[in-house]
Structure formats: C-alpha cells, structure tokens
Amino acid sequence: MCGRETAFDEASAMVKSNCSVKKQAMPSMKIPLLLLFLVFWSSAGGAQQIDPHALYERACSGCHAAHAGEFVFEVLENRENDLVSRMSHRPVSAVLETGHGGLSAAEVDVLVDLFSDISRSGRLFFRKCRICHVSAKVLARRKLVIRDGRLIGRYSDQIVSQYLMNHGRLNADEIPTMVEVLTRQITTKAETQD
C-alpha cells in the first residue's frame, strides 16, 4: 500500500516509487488553506491512517497472542485464498464484522489486510527459506539490524535487499516483501523488549 511503511532500502523504494503522487500545478493562494485543512484533518484523527499493528495490540492482544504474526499462524488458515478461523472455518472478516473485538468497519479492513499480508509473506518464508533458516524472527533478531533505516547483517554489514538478489531464490518483486517481513521482526521486538 502506498505510503504506509517507510521505504527501508532501495529495493522497496524502487517498487514503491510508482506510488508517488503526480505533481500538479496549484495556484499559490490555495496552499495556506490546504495546509490549514491538513492540520485540522490530521489532528482530528478521524481520517488518519490506522497503525495496523497498534490496532491489533490494542483490540485483540488482551485475549489473543501478543503479536499479530503469532495470531495469524495460531488462529487462522488460508483456504481458497480466504483467511478463515481454524476453529470454525468462518472467514476472519466475517467474525470481525459481527462485532467480535469491537472494531469499526474501517478497522476491520485494516486488520484483515494486515492478516493477509502476514499470511502471504509467512508462506513465502516457509516456501523459500525455512529449509535453512528456522524462522524469520530468529534470523532477523539474531543476525540482522536496522541501521540508518536499512536492514543489514549485524556481523556481515551486508545490505539485505542486495544480498537477497543472489540468495534465497526470490523473484525481484518478492525481495521488498521479504525485507519488510524481516524488518518487522526487529521493529516489533523493539516495541515489546522481549
């Protein structure tokens, strides 16, 4: 999704560059008004972007796993491209739409997107990396660090997005996804200090 995450490295920046908004000539008189509007809009909070991980932690982690990643693998499974509950086989979107967790419709969409992202990228790791690496979490937390906004090898200093061009047999478009998955293992660790 455009602008949701910071670009962690050149590879993801490249992929995301097509998200950048086309510049349009705008009469200069209108700019102060626009700024004023933006200030109100963002401080009102209503239409603001929802942080999906924070939302999960606020609304769900009291009763379910501490992190969305664990929740997805414990509670959900992928069936015919729909994420369903392992228990009842109901789609997670349906469960949440009935009011479980007390989310607004917009929040349901945000969480369902997050769960789908996690499920998709988890399968990617499982398919292509699991033979040699225990888990994305262990790999990232033991071997990698974020320095100057980039994911690099803690001991090797290698830039992961470049390293993966010749390691792990990912397609070019899977590399930014994988870099995000690995980065997320580190940023969620920082939040919880575990």
Residues forming contacts to ligand HEC in the complex (CB under 6 A) are 59-60, 62-64, 75, 85, 87-88, 90, 92, 95-96, 100-101, 103, 111, 128-129, 131-133, 143, 153, 155-156, 158, 160, 163-164, 167-168, 170, 178
- 30 three-class SS: helix
In the complex, the smallest distance separating the C-beta of residue 22 from ligand HEC, rounded to whole angstroms, is: 34
Of 63 and 190, CB closest to ligand HEC:
63
Residue partners of 113: CB distance under 8 A and separation at least 6:
1, 52
User: Which residue, 158 or 187, is less far from ligand HEC as judged by CB?
Assistant: 158
Nearest approach, Cβ of residue 125 and ligand HEC (Å): 6
DSSP state of 20: S
Nearer to ligand HEC, 11 or 75 (CB): 75
d(CA 179, CA 164): 9
Is the separation of the CB atoms in 6 and 149 below 8 Å? yes
Q: Which is nearer to ligand HEC, 14 or 59 (CB)?
A: 59
85's enclosing H/E stretch is strand 82-85
Report residue 89 as tokens. 């086989």
Shortest Cβ distance from residue 153 to ligand HEC (Å)?
A: 2
